[in-house]
Amino acid sequence: MASRRERGKLGLTSVLALTPILTLALATDARAAALSTPVGVIGIESDDAEALAEGLTASLESGIDRLPGWRKAHVRESLSTLSFAFQCPSRPDPECLDRMAQHLGLDSIIWGSLRRVAEGRFDASVHLWRRRGPGSEYVARILASSAPTTDPVVGAQGLACAKNLLAPVLSRLNVQFAALGAPAFLRVDGVNRGNFVDGVVRLELAPGPHRVEAVQGILVVAGRELDLRGDEDGEVTLEAPGGSAAAVVGGFGAVPGGVLGAGPLPGAGALPGPGPDERSWKSYAAYGSLGVGGALGIAAIVEAVKFSSSKTDLEVSLARVPSAVTDVCATDSGPNAVDACRSYQSAQTSRLLGFVFGAVSVVAIGGGAALLWQATHEQKTADRNRIGFTPRTGGGEMTFTTPLD
């Protein structure tokens, strides 16, 4: 029996279907925030093109979030307000910018101004100030836009500003290796970055993921995955084969488990590696469950969209059916009733599938997250029991040791 009362019972599926997708999005955002350095963005100021300046600021913030190792920190106060509060000149000097950064609790801030240079043409002078070293600046040539917040040209200019300001800022890394026997060299992301001199190679790397390896001849004797934040210092110590690999993390203290991650050190070359254990299958099962849950969540959203469309068609068809008809799916009830019945059945099917997909998705994602936590916890516990875990107090330093596979 299909009646108008059924229309009020078809709205729960959409909310349930969105739950797993929102869970995955929040987890991804948290992971990205942990591996990135905040950059305060003070709104670009302009006397004659405020809308364009606001659009450029928004695109600059979006561009920063797209760069590995960085994330934007939106500043609510305007440049003029901060300058007045700290008695700065119209163009803030380094001392004033330092006071602003201390007030905002940041080590890097971006500020700038937009001025008209010709009819319909503007120059945006954007600057990066850093507490740890020299800053940078970039001038963007921008044309007037009727919709600066959605104009792709303005968006491209904001991304260009972010890249040109932050690309010169590298993370400094010291890699130590106590070579035994043959000389060793350092390989980063498959590229030779120099021989170990007195057991050390000093280099600068762009923020983001990297793989660092100590190589003797053609044999990779130690290696580790890194995920560097922007504008940070770090140190990695790798011992010779048969020993252990110790990692000392200095400026990366904000990264959970250390910047080098908490997983086992991967084997390489001819060195034998351990066979699969309980933690390995739990990790594979966890990622598989999360993948299945995400796919089912997407399927639930698709069914929710179908349900919404069928519900709209049902509303239209029911409006054409005489009020005397109580069962639109009964025989000989007219062509409009047949359309209403078809829409009703389609909505019912989509509601059922969406509910099933959404429920299974939540269960799969919850089970996968539980397995992943167990695998990580067991790995940390095993490493602690075998060789210890020693946090250092002060300076945000942490030392941990894992066996060399």
**Residue 335 tokens, joined:** 């062509």
Cα separation, 404 vs 274, whole angstroms: 11
What SS3 class is residue 160? helix
Please give the pLDDT value at position 149: 84
Cα separation, 286 vs 112, whole angstroms: 46
Please give the pLDDT value at position 367: 86
Listed residue (159, 157, 210, 165) closest to 186, CA to CA: 210
Cα separation, 98 vs 183, whole angstroms: 45
CB atoms within 10 A of CB 114: 23
Please give the pLDDT value at position 259: 37
385 has pLDDT over 60: no
pLDDT digit string (tens) for 44-92? 999 889 999 999 999 999 999 999 999 999 899 999 999 999 999 988 9
CB atoms within 10 A of CB 189: 12
Contact partners, residue 70, CB within 8 Å, separation at least 6: 36, 37, 38, 39, 64, 162, 166, 207, 230
Q: What separation in angstroms does the CA of 366 have from each of 15, 196, 308?
A: 17, 46, 27
Contact partners, residue 243, CB within 8 Å, separation at least 6: 178, 404
In which residue are the tokens 């936590």 written?
373
pLDDT digit string (tens) for 337-372? 777 777 777 888 888 888 888 888 888 898 888 887
Q: What separation in angstroms does the CA of 219 have from each of 45, 216, 222, 267, 314?
A: 56, 5, 9, 11, 68
Please give the pLDDT value at position 340: 72
Q: At 147, which amino acid appears?
A: A
Cα separation, 196 vs 213, whole angstroms: 12
159 has pLDDT over 70: yes
93 has pLDDT over 50: yes
Q: CA 16, 18, 23, 24 torsion: positive or negative?
A: positive
pLDDT digit string (tens) for 245-296? 333 333 343 333 333 333 333 333 333 333 344 456 777 787 888 888 888 8
Q: Give ∠ CA 34-36-39 in degrees, rounded to 5.
A: 130
Listed residue (9, 2, 1, 10) closest to 318, CA to CA: 2
pLDDT digit string (tens) for 286-306? 788 888 888 888 988 988 888
- Give the residue-averaged pLDDT of 14-37: 52
Q: What separation in angstroms does the CA of 279 have from each of 48, 268, 400?
A: 61, 20, 20
DSSP H or E stretch at residue 223: strand 219-228
Please give the pLDDT value at position 261: 34
Q: Any idea how long the chain is?
A: 405
Cα separation, 93 vs 104, whole angstroms: 17
In which residue are the tokens 């941990």 written?
400
CA trace torsion 51, 56, 61, 63 (10° rounding)? 150
* Ordered DSSP codes for 303-367: HHHHHHHHHHHHHHHHHHS-TT-S-TTSTTS-HHHHHHHHHHHHHHHHHHHHHHHHHHHHHHHHH
Please give the pLDDT value at position 56: 94
Cα separation, 211 vs 39, whole angstroms: 25
